[in-house]
Structure 1
């Protein structure tokens, strides 16, 4: 006899509480094996393929692509037959594998309880189905939950949901959340707002009649609970793009950096002709090719060894500057999903060839959207090669909680005084944005000058090799 097991969105680690469904990898009716990836989700850190700990037939999916689900919300149900029972029976079943901070572990001791839904007549006279259709999320009817008390906390998935409710004029106490135990999600607030401000509706136009049933009851509740939004001025009209996923995480981090870090920027022009020649000579020899970014990273780690103040972070609660012993070098990478900063671990212990290979691996993973949360966190210093966008200079925002970022502009032929004569040389502008709490301008200037000296005369690096 088949047993229906429910697989819920697991804890994805790094303090993440929700994820957006990007792409389903299975359909209802498909046969899945233990630990087979069934859905691709996007968190605030990365794209992750989620494997299912059960083997069997998919009987239902919960949430369409683009839907945000909280950790612990149902993802799908799987009918496990007799042949698959040994992998899922008892409390010691499951594959035991781990995905970014969660173990598949044991299946729930109790089976999934399906709440019966009373049938109600539809407009065509037919009886409404008593079970939810696959691909849809079960939304509790308002009648099944008493109205929230006038005081006390309202369970919401995140502070963002409360802010959206305030902006949209939605009363959270009148909503019935679609998350676990009535947790109110962003989709609930946005749905209530849309129901109250649909095209053609005004404050004097009554809401349309909706049929009975859980989803309809929620829509009716949301429509009645949402006060009409104030008319927007022409300046406020336009396309609204949600700040979520990676884009939202970047926005939060940059905003925090601007609030907390008193940054300053210094810059210098450098003659990169000799560095370009040195790279050409390296790549003419046998062996793997060396990238320019890897040479700049090697120069960075050598400079940080001389100026360790810039490889640090600030603990304001303890009122201490924490100097870090290892250099985990982040580098800015632009992708279709926005700006990400992969991290090269222990960059100070790598040579140019090793750095080249790691940069290539992480860049490819960033473009494919397969970077793990661990590959996007823990950086101590960032290298920003904005020259790839065809610009000479920039004053970037420090990647919180780091203390500094080196910016590299494009390398272009320019007139330059070389050995007392005017010549055309390959010139680059370097900038250093730093946290003024960790050092003064003398230290920052010394770091940047050393980097420029290594760019102009790569032989300077021989002192530290």
Structure 2
């Protein structure tokens, strides 16, 4: 006997409490398999596909594309089979078998699964955390005709009321299928100016719509608002104005007097900026941090990198970046000073030293500052770390990072030298215990072997949680980092 289950938006992790529906991957009446992606959502961290823990027929969807839903809100309802043949419908939902019963899955992903009636239980994967995968193999979704849907859900079975989903206005000459857009920022920019991305021609590879394409269309409209809309625009609905990025309000001087003709801007703290603000505020509230720094002669490190990248022939490999070398130095230093690869459990009043190094690195993207994580960095060499940093950086710029790739860090490396600055006192990435900051590497006067010379100098700064260690340990860690930068051969002791 079929039973209708409600699948709710699961916990997205990292303190994120809502997500925006970007694209539905299934329609009402579709047959879905266990762990099949059913909707693409965008969070403050990344754009990901949400898998459904149940297999059956979709009876209702909740929310239009472009709308925001809080965690725990209903996403869709699915009519599933209950009994010995659960999940094994003739439409192929049984391809995802052996994933266990739905006890844990109902707790994490569904709100009103309902008590299983009869002798059988509803089969579900039990794992719907976005970005972390699920417990059963993903099967291809299949769409069935209305007659097949009627056969899958008999009329005598009480089904939850189907909530109609408002269809978007038809767009003339719009190409069917997904829009050639990768960046969530491009989608957001188009929504704010009521642009129909399906009618834009992308200048990127394979017709990819870039931010420049959207900005060009916006400028074309701003230049002549009285002229007919140029190609690439969808006229805004009557009486609906584009959402402003900043809301002007009455300005006031520092003394409290209103300044005639002036206006302040209120920019909402949401999305990536809001998530970063919350995390940094929590770090400042909870972590008693301290910072120490040192200047180091990086001439030998730069020479070693040049030698690595000049190797030709069969022994040649991918180019090694300075960031990859510094990351490898960090893992060697954390092996010597494990106090800094830890976190503090406030409830238990314990310092938890972590067995593995999951190395985060700060990356500035169009969506804001994100910190992708190189997992198991302690077991990687410089070449492997560099390849993973390159992969994660590309995914960050394209907005394809999953929450799994943005969480779980134990130590962060922040290369702010790319902004042309020498030093900084970074805020620790809560709940980690330390962050290493690296400034720009520039020629400076330096006393080398008793004589004044021009050398490649870099400033290194370490911000650390004073609860996990004292200044002696932090100083020893930073001094070891500096020694490896000045004499890369020091690393040979630990390789």
Which category describes the TM-score, using the shorter chain as reference length?
Answer: 0.5 to 0.7
Judge conservation of contact 1:42–1:245 (CA < 8 Å) in 2. Answer: no
What's 1:268 paired with? 294
- Cα deviation, 1:369-402, whole Å, max 9, x if unaligned, reads 2222222222111111111112111100011111
1:123-162 equivalence runs, <5 A: 134-135=166-167
Correspondence 1:288-307 to 2 at 5 A: 288-307=318-337
CA contact (8 A) 1:27 1:58 kept: no
Q: Confirm whether residue 111 of structure 1 aligns to residue 111 of structure 2.
A: no
User: Which residue is equivalent to 2:284?
Assistant: 258
- Asked if structure 2 preserves the Cα contact closer than 8 Å seen for 1:28 and 1:134, the reply is no
**Separation in structure 2 between the aligned mates of residue 343 and residue 48 of structure 1, nearest angstrom:** 17
Of the candidates 226, 229, 234, which is equivalent to residue 251 of structure 2?
234
Aligned 1:351-362 pairs, distance under 5 A? 351-362=381-392
The change in CA–CA distance for 1:15 and 1:436 in structure 2 (over 3 A counts) is closer
The match for 2:360 is 330
8 Å CA contact 2:21, 2:63 repeated in 1: no
CA distance in 2, matches of 1:5, 1:269: 65
- Choose which of 287, 293, 307 in structure 2 pairs with 1:281: 307
Pairing 1:439–2:456 present: no
Task: Give me the TM-score of the superposition, normalised by structure 1.
Answer: 0.64
**Matched-pair contact (CA < 8 Å) for 1:62–1:76:** no
Residues in 2 aligned to 1:424 and 1:339: alpha-carbon distance in whole angstroms = 34
Q: Which residue of 1 aligns with 2:9?
A: 10
Q: How does 1:186-265 map to 2 (within 5 A)?
A: 233-235=250-252, 238-265=264-291
Q: Which residue of 1 aligns with 2:48?
A: 48
Name 2:129's counterpart in structure 1.
100
Deviations 1:246-300 (A, max 9, x none): 3322221111110111111111111111101101111122123222111101111
CA contact (8 A) 1:64 1:135 kept: no
- Does structure 2 retain, via aligned residues, the 8 Å contact 1:387–1:408? yes
Cα distance in 1 for partners of 2:345, 2:3 equals: 50
Q: 1:399 to 1:103 in 2, by over 3 A?
A: closer
With the length of structure 2 as denominator, give the TM-score of the two structures. Answer: 0.61
Q: Count how many residue pairs are aligned between Structure 1 and Structure 2.
A: 351
Give the match for residue 342 of structure 1: 372
Q: Cα–Cα, structure 1 residues 362 and 133, in superposed 2: closer, same or farther, change >3 Å?
A: closer
Counterpart of 1:407?
437
The answer to whether the 8 A contact 1:17-1:71 is kept is: no
SS in 2 for 1:326: coil
- Return the alpha-carbon distance in structure 2 between the equivalents of residues 444 and 338 of structure 1: 30
Q: What corresponds to 1:416 in structure 2?
A: 446
Contact 1:97–1:104, Cα closer than 8 Å, also in 2 = yes
Contact 2:444–2:455, Cα closer than 8 Å, also in 1: yes
Contact 2:64 2:165 in 1 (8 A): no
Quick check: 1:366 aligned with 2:396? yes
Query: CA 1:452 to 1:110, structure 2 compared with 1: closer, same or farther past 3 Å?
Result: farther
**8 Å Cα contact 1:95-1:104 kept in structure 2:** no
Equivalent-residue separation in structure 2 for 1:422 and 1:258 (angstroms): 41
3-state secondary structure, aligned to 1:74 = strand
Contact 1:63 1:75 in 2 (8 A): no
Cα distance between partner residues in 1 of 2:293 and 2:265: 38
The alpha-carbon distance between structure 1 residues 427 and 75, as it changes in their structure 2 partners (threshold 3 A), is farther
1:337-381 deviation digits (Å, cap 9, x = unpaired): 111111122211211111112112222222222222222222111
Q: Report if aligned partners of 2:14, 2:407 keep a CA contact under 8 Å in 1.
A: no
C-alpha deviation, 1:410, in angstroms:
1.0
Q: 1:241 to 1:27 in 2, by over 3 A?
A: farther
